[in-house]
């Protein structure tokens, strides 16, 4: 980590390790209420969070929360490789088991070090607010680490007497990002397996732009709308949408033994590899004789695709909006799921097309501007 940006000498400051905004907003509010003579500084340190886009999403929301509460924030290192190395052998440990204990120690140890470096008098953690964590274990581990560094650990119970219900209400009222898994890839995979779903958070695809290639990246883009509305002081409501997500796992277009560079559009569905041939070309569209497959000549559609060259298309992808609009332009009488494959040059020979994909329902947040009336 670079030099700590704060020095709290003689300021009676408590360093607060922050895991997420839902826990921290309630936790910090309670600290300010119960300890009006103390000062607080947040420390976001969570190299356990995976993927990096999810880390960015949670940090983005914590920054907003701390700004609202007028609490300074230090961002720690994202040293994921080090965290993963220490978690070897604990991949299958259950929630609240040995892996969680390791993760607590990993983050609290660094928090104690930062507390010393910034001359805080004590430290604590918003993990204490999470109903998914063992409060007693955190109290004990916090005290042990604090004693090791000749610090104090602030043990506070913000869950009892309706605290958890208050936390949930505060999260709703302040439109916080409410993540649906603890943070590490092991917990995510276990949770998704239990619900019989794939962890789409861990899957990035090349046929979408970088800012929407996986679920956390897409969420971060959506939550930036919240920021824009708040900055312009426009009222809004947050709603949840159930969305069927298409994710291509692999795709291959071949002529004989030769692989043809191609861009396979979203919602292209094939149950098995297909050998087909273009029956005719018309206005840049090649109509194949099987599965309704369409081959599109790039130059004929580059204006609609808003992409100037084929290599850029392959490297940067296309927004889901453009891909859906393309489907509608090609067939406006229903949701068209035959494969759409964009190629740089026409293909007239017999070709083989393979597409592996998944369709999965996900819930995404959306922000709707509302009237002042």
Binding residues for [4Fe-4S] cluster: 19-20, 100, 103
Q: Which residues are annotated as a binding site?
A: 19-20, 100, 103
Q: Which helix (H) or strand (E) holds 242?
A: strand 236-255
* Nearest by Cα to 240 from 214, 222, 216, 220: 222
The phi-psi region of residue 75 (left if phi > 0; otherwise alpha if psi is between -120 and 50; otherwise beta) is beta
- DSSP-based three-state secondary structure for 364: strand
Q: How far is CA 252 from the centre of its chain?
A: 28
* Nearest by Cα to 66 from 31, 110, 34: 31
Which phi and psi (to 5°) does residue 170 adopt? -65, -40
Listing DSSP states for 328-352 in one string gives HHH--SS---S-EEEESS---S-EE
Q: Which string of b and e fits 1-33 if b means at least 16 CB within 10 Å?
A: eeebebebeeeebbbbbbbbbbbbbbbbbbbee
Structure tokens given for 75: 């961002």
Query: Between β-strands 73-75 and 278-282, what pairing exists: parallel, antiparallel or unpaired?
Result: unpaired
Burial of 249 (0-12, 13-18, 19+ CB in 10 A): exposed
């Amino acid at each position: 980590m670079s030099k700590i940006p704060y020095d709290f000498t003689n300021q009676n400051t408590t360093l607060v390790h922050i895991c997420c905004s839902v826990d921290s907003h309630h936790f910090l509010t309670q600290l300010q209420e119960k300890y009006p003579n103390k000062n607080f500084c947040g420390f976001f340190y969570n190299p356990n969070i995976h993927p990096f886009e999810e880390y960015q999403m949670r940090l983005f929301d914590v920054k907003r929360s701390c700004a609202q509460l007028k609490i300074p924030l230090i961002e720690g290192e994202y040293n994921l490789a080090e965290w993963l190395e220490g978690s070897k052998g604990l991949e299958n440990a259950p929630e609240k088991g040995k892996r969680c204990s390791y993760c607590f120690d990993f983050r609290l140890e660094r928090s104690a070090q930062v507390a010393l470096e910034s001359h805080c008098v004590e430290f604590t953690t918003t993990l204490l607010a999470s109903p998914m964590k063992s409060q007693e274990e955190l109290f004990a581990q916090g005290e042990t680490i604090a004693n090791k560094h000749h610090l104090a650990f602030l043990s506070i119970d913000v869950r009892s007497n309706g605290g958890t219900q208050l936390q949930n209400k505060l999260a709703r009222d302040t439109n916080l990002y409410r993540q649906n898994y603890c943070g590490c890839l092991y917990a995510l995979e276990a949770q998704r397996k239990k619900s019989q779903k794939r962890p789409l958070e861990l899957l990035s695809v090349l046929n979408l732009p970088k800012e929407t290639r996986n679920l956390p990246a897409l969420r971060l883009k959506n939550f930036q709308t919240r920021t824009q509305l708040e900055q312009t002081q426009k009222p809004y409501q947050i709603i949840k949408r159930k969305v069927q997500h298409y994710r291509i796992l692999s795709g291959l277009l071949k002529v004989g033994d030769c692989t043809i560079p191609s861009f396979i559009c979203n919602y292209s569905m094939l149950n098995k590899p297909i050998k087909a041939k273009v029956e005719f070309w018309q206005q840049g569209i090649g109509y194949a004789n099987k599965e309704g497959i369409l081959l599109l000549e790039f130059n004929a559609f580059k204006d609609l695709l808003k992409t100037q060259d084929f290599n850029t298309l392959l490297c940067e992808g296309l927004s889901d909006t453009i891909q859906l609009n393309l489907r509608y332009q090609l067939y406006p009488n229903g949701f068209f799921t035959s494969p759409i494959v964009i190629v740089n040059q026409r293909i007239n020979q017999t070709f083989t097309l393979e597409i592996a994909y998944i369709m999965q329902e996900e819930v995404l947040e959306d922000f709707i501007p509302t009237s002042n009336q």
